[in-house]
A and B are shown apart, each in its own frame.
Chain A
Amino acid sequence: MLPQIIFGYFAIVTIVLSLVIITRKNPVHSVLWMLVLFFHIAAIYLFLNAEFIAAVQVILYAGAVLVLFLFVIMMLNLKEELSSERFIGEWPIGVALGLSILLFIFFSIAKLAPGPLGKFTIELIQKETHTKAIGKVLYTEYILPFEVASLILLIAIVGAMVLAKKRT
């Protein structure tokens, strides 16, 4: 019973926090609420026994992505933001779209099948830990996508440089 109660807490708080984030007038408040949200999502990953993803969620999202958001907010004119409307006129369409996606996931989730376990049984994962198991797969079976992803990151750096370089 106790796990269900704890899971219920995290699930409900995640939903409430998401609503809080999109309704705040001050973008800085939104970002700080988001920090709290990311920790709750990390806890939900722990419930799925995915401790590696939970750690990545905290390090990358709570650590790096939020700082990036704060940098963007620094460039906004906060006073102007505060006086403007939080939602554009078409928000009911957004709500309808969101609800339809929710319904779609709700009805299709029963059809989804879990992927093949392969050699990764629960005992093996418990012995080796997630991080080691993911690392092994990433550097052997999925080495090619991993390398291509590194090229994509390189392009992101090159692109930032090209677009921000001083005019000569």
Chain B
Amino acid sequence: MNIPLPDLTPIIPEIIMSIVTCALLTVEVFVKDKTKDFLGIICIGTALAVMYMIPMSQGVTFGGMFISDGYSSYFKFIFLISLILTILISFKFIQREDAEFGEYYSLLMFATAGMMIMASSADLILLYLGLELMALSTYILAGIKRHDTRSNEAALKYFLLGAFSSAILLFGISLTYGLTTSTNIYQIAEHLKQGETSITLLIAMIMIICAFAFKIASAPFHMWAPDVYQGAPTSVTAFFSVGPKAAGFAVIGRVFFIAFESLQMDWTAILIGLAILTMAVGNILAIVQTNMKRMLAYSSIAHAGYALLGIIAGTTEGLNAVMTYLLIYAFMNMGAFAIVILLEKGENIKDYNGLSKSHPLVAAMMLVFMFSLTGIPPTAGFIGKFNIFMAAINAGYTWVVVVAVCFSAISAYYYMRIVMNMFMKPMEAEAKIYPNPANGAALLISLLMVFIIGIMPSVVIGYTFQMFM
């Protein structure tokens, strides 16, 4: 029997990622170096090469199962940026944390490969497998400080709840398959356009929403986020708060805008409820936190709520706004985590008291990231929120935007509290910092992008869209 080889061009980025990662796992055993920095450098090099290759590898392959288009390319760009920034802030930090294994970098790479497959999959089976590839890697990364009970707790909680959400997703997918006789997203859409909606279909869709909401840490499926974010090593937390969230939005966009297009009324209603609840839970609970990582966890929950508004809008404008928002969010959140890593003790909010006296430059950078997370011009965070809110208003959801703006105002309280602690509270003890070139580079990139996107949004956003769409 003659089997034609499928066209591999669209999937070259994923193949390169997987092959390099497998090679890293092997090479790592033979190299007796004390540090594993070179592995990280190889990963960054690969990520840059893959980023360069993505625009050239467009197309559909494997019988319509795998699609590499502008949409997936843009998300892959976000994943790779978050991977590069994570590796940059990891270098010295994982040595300090006693979590330096060669596998650390391989798992980051595998997780990114899984996200890339998720963003590109046009088939629910492939989507599920990509999601598991990402999820399994992240469970292990959460527990990589295996002599630390908090890290163990984080890994276990993430694993159990993640497995539960996977089961719900599979149940939803199998029901969808039973109703539409296909797992291909485009064929499902074709089938649903003809048939009438049934309760069963709605329940299947709700199950899929639940599983995706778990991945983006949207309330009421956010319970794992604070514990996992607190327990995992800070560099891994930074990765969690950007990569898997963006991947979750990538599949939400693909599945709901294409497969469940004819059910838009229904999923919009559900997502409005989710978004408002997410913003409420994230912003209100963030106020009472005393731990920096927990606060950033609740802040990331809140940001998932804002980003959902773009999906709710249900227009191309809304989807573009979500993509821009996630790109901006990657830079500002990574920047904030880079500062937490830079400090010897950055876990407690009290540790930031009087930071401007001992390290004015660090405090100033943190100020920029906090302003950006709040959404104050001229930082990028403002542009991101502005685009999302405009898209939702143009789609006719003004009242949801009014609610979102109210919660956004609440968020200013806990972000500004950090700024107040740094600049207005007296210094309690001289804070110790661990500067190193890699972390500095990550900070510089984040800082520059926050300002450049904030001041000249149309130039940067236009360029990235032109490049990848």
Residues on A facing B (Cβ under 8 Å):
104, 107-108, 111-116, 136, 139-145, 148-149, 151-152, 154-156, 158-159, 161-163, 165, 167
A115 to B177, Cβ gap below 8 A? yes
Q: How far is B63's CA from A145's CA once the two chains are assembled, in angstroms? A: 12
B residues touching A (Cβ–Cβ < 8 Å)? Answer: 1, 3, 6, 11, 18, 22, 25, 62-63, 65-66, 101, 103, 106-107, 110, 113, 117, 123, 125-126, 129-130, 132-133, 136-137, 139-140, 143-144, 146-147, 155, 175, 177-179, 181-182, 198-200, 203
Is the Cβ of A155 less than 8 Å from the Cβ of B136?
A: yes
Contact A163–B200 (Cβ < 8 Å):
no
Minimal Cβ-Cβ distance residue in B for A161: B103
| Contact A108 B136, beta carbon cutoff 8 Å | no
What CA separation (Å) do A6 and B129 show in the bound complex? 37
Given A158-B106, A165-B101, answer yes or no on A152-B181 (Cβ-Cβ < 8 Å).
no
Given contacts A108-B200, A162-B103, A163-B140, contact A155 B133 (CB under 8 A): yes
Does the CB pair A148–B133 fall under 8 Å?
Answer: yes
Interface residues of chain A: helix, strand, loop or mixed (majority): helix
The 7 closest A-B pairs by CB, nearest first: A112-B178, A108-B200, A159-B140, A148-B129, A144-B62, A115-B181, A155-B136
Report whether A154 and B140 are in contact in the complex, using a CB–CB cutoff of 8 Å. no
Nearest B residue (CB) for A148: B129
Contact B25 A112 (CB under 8 A): no
Note all chain A residues with C-beta closer than 8 A to B25: 158
A141, B63: Cβ atoms under 8 Å? yes
In the complex the two chains form, what is the Cα distance from A111 to B113 in whole Å? 37
Instruction: Say how far A99's CB is from chain B's closest CB, in angstroms.
Output: 16
Chain B proximity of A118: nearest CB distance (Å): 11
B136 touches A152 (CB 8 A): yes
B177 — which chain A residues lie within 8 A by C-beta? 115
20 contacts between A and B (CB under 8 A): A108-B175, A108-B199, A108-B200, A111-B198, A112-B178, A114-B181, A115-B177, A115-B181, A116-B181, A136-B1, A144-B62, A145-B65, A148-B126, A151-B133, A152-B132, A155-B133, A161-B103, A162-B101, A162-B103, A163-B143
Question: In whole angstroms, what is the CA distance A34 to B175 when docked?
Answer: 27
Chain A residues contacting B133 (CB-CB under 8 Å) are 148, 151-152, 155
Q: Give bound CA distance, A155 to B18, whole Å.
A: 11
Task: Please indicate the chain A residues that have their CB under 8 angstroms from the CB of B65 in the complex.
Answer: 144-145
* Residues of chain A contacted by B182 (CB below 8 angstroms): 115-116
CB <8 Å contact, A158 and B140: yes
A33 and B143 alpha carbons, distance in the complex (Å): 34
Complex Cα gap A145–B132 (Å): 11
Residues A142 and B125 in contact, CB atoms below 8 Å apart: yes
Complexed CA–CA distance, A108 and B107 (Å): 40
- Give bound CA distance, A149 to B133, whole Å: 8
Would you call B3 and A113 a contact (CB within 8 A)?
Answer: no
A151 to chain B: which residues have CB within 8 Å?
18, 110, 113, 133
B243 to chain A, nearest CB (A): 15
B147 in contact with A167 (CB, 8 Å)? yes
Which residues on the A side are within 8 Å of B175 (C-beta)? 108, 112
If A143-B62, A155-B107 are given as contacts, then 9 extra A-B residue pairs at C-beta distance below 8 Å, sorted by A number, are A107-B200, A111-B200, A115-B181, A116-B181, A116-B182, A148-B117, A148-B126, A152-B129, A162-B107
- Give the nearest-CB partner of A110 in chain B: B200
On whether the beta carbons of B125 and A145 are closer than 8 Å, the reply is yes
What's the minimum C-beta distance from A135 to chain B, rounded to whole angstroms?
11
Give the shortest distance, in Å, between A97 (CB) and chain B (any CB).
12
Residue of A nearest to B183 (CB): A115
The answer to whether A145 and B181 touch (CB under 8 A), given A151-B133, A156-B136, A163-B146, is no
Closest to B63 in A: A141
Shortest Cβ distance from B374 into chain A, in angstroms? 37
Find chain B residues with CB under 8 A from A158 CB.
25, 103, 106-107, 140
Chain A residues positioned under 8 Å from B123 (CB to CB) = 145
Q: Is there an interface contact between A155 and B110, defined as CB atoms closer than 8 Å?
A: yes
CB proximity of A110 to chain B, nearest CB, Å: 9
Chain B residues in 8 Å Cβ range of A156? 136
Chain B nearest CB from A147 CB (Å) reads 8
**Residue from the list B63, B117, B137, B146 in contact with A155, Cβ < 8 A:** B137
The CA-CA distance from A151 to B66 in the complex, in Å, is 17
Which chain A residues lie closer than 8 Å to B139 at the CB level? Answer: 159
Q: Measured between alpha carbons, how far is A38 from B110 in the docked complex, in Å? A: 34
B153 CB to nearest chain A CB (Å): 14
Q: Which of B1, B130, B179, B198 contacts A148 (CB 8 A)?
A: B130
Docked CA distance A167–B98 (Å): 10
